[in-house]
Structure 1
Amino acid sequence: MSTEKTVYVVGCCDTKETELAYVATRIRQQGLRVQVVDVSTHQPSTMADIDARQVAACHPGGADAVFTGDRGTAVAAMGDAFEHFMRARSDVAGVIGLGGSGGTSIVTQGMRTLPVGTPRLMVSTVAAGNVSSYVGPNDIAMVNSITDIAGLNSISRVVLSNAANAMAGMARGERDQTQDDKPAIGLTMFGVTTPCITEISAQLQDRYECMVFHATGIGGQSMEKLAASGFFQGVLDITTTEVCDLLFGGVLPATQDRFGFLAERALPYVGSCGALDMVNFGAKDSVPAHYRERNLYVHNPQITLMRTTREENIAMGRWIGERLNRAIGPVRFLLPEGGVSVLDAPGMPFHDPEADAALFQAIEDTVQQTALRQIIRVPHAINSPEFAALAVQHFHDITQG
């Protein structure tokens, strides 16, 4: 394989051949090596540098698993094939894709396998909507195609030229290589655990580059992707609230793979129950009907919080505990008996010691404790200075710092 860096221009040549050729030409005019990759599932093109059958052959089941004659299964299988194709590349300067919903699904699946910082740009007819399923925890740029990608016209030429120039600029430009000489660690935070994370960061910033992730579903996924990729020397996962939304239908959910990186890497890990007292919904009138009589708190006009119950906390405790049991590295999971968020403090709307106690007991009952994996009760609220100090101390203990 050539060691010269390559910009991959990707799409379905059976319907986007003219546009892909146009983008490839614009990028080549700026002195970059370009290869057009066809991910068609119907009628592979002969103009591509890498044709669809070559890509399809990367599927674990071979090309026959892709060209099934059924569009739905073929698109899904081509996405898998393109993912494997991209994983095998060591010459990627950048990837630019063109597509409708199907093409966008295929191309972004491959894009998501590339490391953070790799230039990735998707020109798509669906870029103006909710693109979280296409982007995930990645720095993929989505560009709205404005018109359908169905031939060149005075609008599409402008949009595609801008996209090609942007990709060429990213691929040619020198990235900021400035690096902190301190090892990086990941921390998770929500508005209701900000005092805790602010204090922990202040205590660790002299020794570590502290990277804080907002626990909004994608935030937790981003932290875990970097952790699994070996970017971090440790994690302080204080705010695990995304589990609430996953299990009980909130709008900021984790995936089923939350905590999965612990089973892949022996990273020092200090976790806690930050904001496990709340499920997030949108405006108050968006709360599902079966939750309308629950303990609700209007955080702002766009966000309504629902207090988790004793039964829900038991379910969460077991769910988290089962995943902590898979960890292969040192784990310290702290149970803040004084409250798990700002709203769970005495006198606040979500203060419910019985629900918290059920959560803590379920975690203790589920986790198989060892010398490496320990559950620790802390007689302080999560946002207290004492809790932050103990979290830092346990992190130092397991990093031998």
Structure 2
Amino acid sequence: MATIAVLGTLGTLDTKGPEHGFVAERIRQHGHDTLLIDVGTAGSPQIVPQVTRHEVAASIDIDLDAVLARADRGECVSAMAEAAPVLLHRLYREGRIEGVISLGGGGGTAIATAAMRALPIGVPKLMVSTLASGNTAHYLGSKDITLMPSIVDVAGLNRVSKVIFSRAAGAICGMVDATIDADDVRPLIVASMFGNTTDCVNAAIPVLEKAGYEVLVFHATGAGGRAMESLIESGMVAGVLDITTTEWADELVGGVLSAGPQRLDAAAAMGVPAIVVPGCLDMVNFAARDTLPSRFESRNLYVHNPQVTLMRTNVQECRELGKIVARKISEYTALVTVLVPCLGISALSGDRQPFHDPDADAALFSAIASELREDIELRKLDLEINDPQFAQACAMALLENIHRHQRVDA
């Protein structure tokens, strides 16, 4: 029997108490326990929670009464969105919950998904929301949250909402009950890949697998980079094969595939051995050609497909990217090696390719070398990034860093 957190706004003015109570009862009918957590801020709870809103707020020392007295809905939602993740993570860490479900509109979805994002990947998380359509990236973050459309507003029990809520209760119970195949106990390596670095990563994977590792590949599309960083933060990762750091080009220049300013931070924070390559820092990603900002019209452009337009980074941008990447890497505490493919950092930047720009590459490489911490190894190889020899060098450098790290910890 598992305990599933039912997280919601349970007050009379929040009008979500009976709905969450209904879901809790359906979960109990499936044979599981529930832990009702009140994150509401309007009116008194319609059903008795097992964790009160004041207990939620106290998890980060918020004076909830003072917040309520100001009667600012935005401040109330923000306070609970800050406190609920801390509480939910603690409950999971203490073994008191094994999954979480919530129902809500705008405020409820913001609070509940913030809390869900605090839980590790693999913990069942289900959000029944009026907002489960369109752009939901800010609710999901890099976590495996399942969004289920509520169809009707979460405002009462009726012939439609009862069906949706009953199915949702069955879904979260099914997630919790699902058995996990734990036969593969190989340590994990995460790798970043793009279409323009696919051959490199694909050639490195067999080397790492032969050495006894399982390799998880993340597409460097912003969401992929954030997901990879999140998995590194979970403590599950033994090594990082960061071939494709292209998301930093989008972050700096304003492309559509940025992973945010925290990209490259997780390996440093967690002390995970790594190799880092300036893969695809020669390109910034935009959508269809006609969506390109007018200020970039005169730049070197490559239409990858009708939905994707690539722009070559120039000397100034490459110089700044080199500084950023080197400064990030210089924060690493575990062993890290920087490998530079001097003859092409993507499939498009080699000799006679559309993005071949020796001056921009030189600015990038020089900035990395000048800003990198002196004790970090920098290898410049006269190879293109997708050359099998470069892939082999990356894989072997990572294995060496992992093995040396293990010897230090032993």
Same fold (TM over 0.5): yes
* Residue number in structure 2 paired with 1:56: 57
What's the CA shift for 1:103?
A: 0.9
Distance 1:251 1:341 in 2: 18
Asked if the contact 1:121/1:143 (under 8 Å) is kept, the reply is yes
Aligned CA distance change for structure 1 residues 78 and 389 (closer, same or farther; 3 Å): same
Q: Which moves more between the two structures, 47-56 or 189-198?
A: 47-56
Secondary structure in structure 1 of the residue aligned to 2:166: helix
What's the CA shift for 1:155?
A: 2.0
* Residue number in structure 2 paired with 1:399: 402
1:43 partnered with 2:48: no
User: Which of 126, 131, 141 is residue 126 of structure 1 equivalent to?
Assistant: 131
**2:358 partner letter:** P
Distance 1:255 1:73 in 2: 25
* Residue number in structure 1 paired with 2:317: 312
Which structure 2 residues correspond to residues 251-290 of structure 1 after superposition, within 5 A?
251-290=256-295
1:205 partnered with 2:209: yes
Cα-to-partner distance string for 1:55-95 (whole Å, 9 max, x where unaligned): 12212334356534211122111111101111210222210
* Residue number in structure 1 paired with 2:193: 189
Q: Which moves more between the two structures, 176-185 or 224-233?
A: 176-185
Which structure 2 residues correspond to residues 5-24 of structure 1 after superposition, within 5 A?
5-13=2-10, 14-24=14-24
In the alignment, structure 2 segments of 5+ residues that lack a partner are 405-410
Percent of matched pairs sharing the same residue: 43
What's the CA shift for 1:393?
A: 2.1
Query: How many positions carry a matched residue from both structures?
Result: 395
* Residue number in structure 2 paired with 1:80: 82
* Residue number in structure 1 paired with 2:33: 33
1:300 partnered with 2:305: yes
* Residue number in structure 2 paired with 1:114: 119
**1:27 partner letter:** I
Distance 2:129 2:90 in 1: 25
Which structure 2 residues correspond to residues 323-342 of structure 1 after superposition, within 5 A?
323-342=328-347
Asked if the contact 1:66/1:75 (under 8 Å) is kept, the reply is no
Cα-to-partner distance string for 1:293-349 (whole Å, 9 max, x where unaligned): 221111111111111111111111111111111111111011110111111121211
User: Which of 387, 390, 394 is residue 393 of structure 2 equivalent to?
Assistant: 390
Asked if the contact 1:44/1:53 (under 8 Å) is kept, the reply is no
* Residue number in structure 2 paired with 1:101: 106
Which structure 2 residues correspond to residues 229-248 of structure 1 after superposition, within 5 A?
229-248=234-253
Asked if the contact 2:57/2:83 (under 8 Å) is kept, the reply is yes
Secondary structure in structure 2 of the residue aligned to 1:92: coil
Distance 1:65 1:220 in 2: 39
**1:85 partner letter:** L
Asked if the contact 2:208/2:399 (under 8 Å) is kept, the reply is no
Distance 2:25 2:321 in 1: 53
Distance 1:188 1:144 in 2: 32
Secondary structure in structure 2 of the residue aligned to 1:381: coil
Cα-to-partner distance string for 1:251-287 (whole Å, 9 max, x where unaligned): 1111211111233222111010111111111111111
Asked if the contact 1:78/1:106 (under 8 Å) is kept, the reply is yes
Secondary structure in structure 1 of the residue aligned to 2:151: coil
Secondary structure in structure 1 of the residue aligned to 2:98: strand
Moved over 6 A (4+): none
Report the aligned-residue RMSD: 1.5
Secondary structure in structure 1 of the residue aligned to 2:338: strand
Distance 2:71 2:377 in 1: 53
Secondary structure in structure 2 of the residue aligned to 1:342: coil
Distance 2:18 2:316 in 1: 58
Cα-to-partner distance string for 1:145-201 (whole Å, 9 max, x where unaligned): 111111122222221111111011112x24223242321111110011000000000
Secondary structure in structure 2 of the residue aligned to 1:395: helix
In the alignment, structure 1 segments of 5+ residues that lack a partner are none
Aligned CA distance change for structure 1 residues 43 and 35 (closer, same or farther; 3 Å): same
Secondary structure in structure 2 of the residue aligned to 1:205: helix
Q: Which moves more between the two structures, 387-396 or 240-249?
A: 387-396
Asked if the contact 2:343/2:385 (under 8 Å) is kept, the reply is yes
1:321 partnered with 2:326: yes
Cα-to-partner distance string for 1:338-391 (whole Å, 9 max, x where unaligned): 111111121211111111110111111111221xx2222111111001111111
Secondary structure in structure 1 of the residue aligned to 2:263: coil
